[in-house]
A = this chain, B = another copy of it.
Amino acid sequence: MVTFPSVTSQHYGIGLAGCGTVGTGVIRALLRNGDLIRQRTGGELTLLVKRVLVRDLTKSRHSDVDHELITTDWHELVNDPDVHIIVELIGGTDLAFDIVSRAIELKKPVVTGNKALLAERGAELFALSKKYNTPIHFEAAVAGGIPIIKSVQEAFVGNRVNSLVGIINGTSNYILQRMSESGLEFATALAEAQALGYAESDPTLDVNGWDAAHKAILLATLAYGFPINPAEIHVLGIEQVKPIDIDFAKQLGYVVKLLAVIREHDNGAIEIRLQPSFVSKNHILASVNGVFNAVAVNGDGVGEALFYGRGAGQDPTASAVVADLVEAARSLSNENGHRGFLPWRDNGRLLAIEETTTAYYVRFDVTDRPGVIAEIARVLAEHLIGISGTHSPVNLENPDAAFVDMVFLLHSCPYGKLQKALAEIFTLDCVNSAPVVFRIEHL
């Protein structure tokens, strides 16, 4: 059981909302490295957990927290006069919203790892943050211990961000890697990831792409300065990825990665996409394996830069929370401004998904008879879509199969144009099911 000393003028009291894996990690990191934090920050700054909000008082993991600090009433946490900074780690967008917004109204800086909250309700919360001149820090919400938020906001403050491309969901990355290495089906690889603790018992937001999409929304907001409506962005998870396409990707020199792609176009429109994509096996992002995350930033000054590290887990995420706690504490002793993000414009234009332009891999399930390639190629030609290659491996087990997989690699064109061509191709007699499409990213 840990007891904390009483507050002095250089001590900052923390109210911890949520004491699960990451919350426990924060408590432990502060105990383990409190001296180092003081040394690094000039000798005085001390962070003390003064109050802990939990849902269930009986959970055993609270055994290393002084029981007198624990409450199940969030008002007690937020209103406690010894609590100067709120750490929100309970997740969800309802109670978390109440806690964060009330804390800001009380001018208590907030540190959160809640990507859903900020992606869904960031506009309201950042408006409050501005009104009460009180920061919201959220390094822990994107890519765990990787300091991508601080880097975009501070280290690249003098850069126009041309693009951000990232692998920001470790669970999906692990599953895709296992499918690639061992030819596993999605469901098998997911079950394996769950058994190893790399996927949660409810993996929905990881595998349907929305965990990564929330992070992408935060990155785009940070880079381009306006809140983004989640309904307006294009999100596709990995649930529908088949081993056959991963295998074809490999044969063609690519790796399938769940990529967040954020890019500013010359006309000022912002492209935001989240989907499994083909990446050249020679690109550094292709080497990002297992549960690791990576974000490649292209800035007009810095050029290409890449950040790589653990995107989740107790200690890496706690590392980000502790860094934000130091920021929050510093802001409390500085009336002239904090480091929390604030939008600097109300809105911007998002590029419609139909306008987004990449090369493509398209796999058709076709009836194997003369003329099939000619028919598909004719439709593509009529739509002015160029073919850079075709790939149709002989089925060695059944060389006379009636149905075969026929892959077309297509030159860059707007996605809307591709959709029209594919709809027409799907009406051909020889095409048996909806074509499978992956984007090929030229990074």
Contact = CB atoms under 8 A, between A and B. Distances in A.
A264 to B, nearest CB: 12
Contact of A336 (B40, B156, B316, B333): B333
A42 interface: yes
Contacts of A300: 32-33, 315
Residue from A40, A153, A301, A305 with most neighbouring chain B CB atoms (10 Å)? A301
B310 A307 contact: no
Given A43-B344, A155-B323, A323-B154, A305 B36 contact: no
A194 interface: no
A308 B323 contact: no
Contact of A145 (B305, B325, B327): B305
Give how many copies assemble into the complex. Answer: 2
A41 interface: yes
Interface string A320-350: 1011011100100110110000101100000
A167 to B, nearest CB: 13
A318 interface: yes
Interface stretch (A157-165, A184-192, A231-239): A157-165
Contacts of A183: none
A29 to B, nearest CB: 5
B319 A145 contact: no
A37 interface: yes
User: When A and B form their complex, which 9 residue pairs have the shortest distance between CB atoms, in order from nearest?
Assistant: A158-B322, A147-B155, A305-B309, A301-B319, A145-B302, A39-B344, A306-B308, A302-B319, A333-B336
B301 A322 contact: yes
Contacts of A155: 139, 147, 150-151, 320, 323
15 contacts: A29-B301, A32-B160, A32-B300, A33-B301, A36-B160, A39-B225, A144-B302, A145-B305, A146-B305, A156-B319, A157-B323, A284-B287, A302-B320, A305-B309, A330-B337
Contacts of A306: 306-309
A316 B342 contact: no
Contact of A323 (B32, B158, B323, B333): B158
Contact of A158 (B33, B313, B342): B33
A409 to B, nearest CB: 25
A338 to B, nearest CB: 9
Contacts of A344: 39-40, 43
Nearest to A222: B40
A304 interface: yes
A230 interface: no
Contacts of A37: 157-158
A151 B151 contact: yes
Contacts of A145: 299, 301-303, 305
Given A150-B151, A154-B327, A330-B336, 14 more contacts: A32-B160, A40-B153, A42-B342, A145-B299, A145-B302, A151-B151, A157-B326, A302-B319, A303-B310, A304-B309, A305-B308, A306-B307, A306-B308, A333-B336
Nearest to A36: B160
B303 A316 contact: yes
Contacts of A159: 33, 319
Interface string A361-379: 0000000000000000000
Contact of A315 (B33, B302, B307, B310): B302
Nearest to A309: B305
A287 B30 CA distance: 36
A147 B153 CA distance: 11
Contact of A287 (B41, B42, B287, B301): B287
Contacts of A139: 155
A281 B30 CA distance: 37
Given A303-B315, A319-B299, A344-B39, A337 B333 contact: yes
A344 B303 CA distance: 34
A146 B154 CA distance: 12
Nearest to A133: B42
Contacts of A334: 334, 336-337
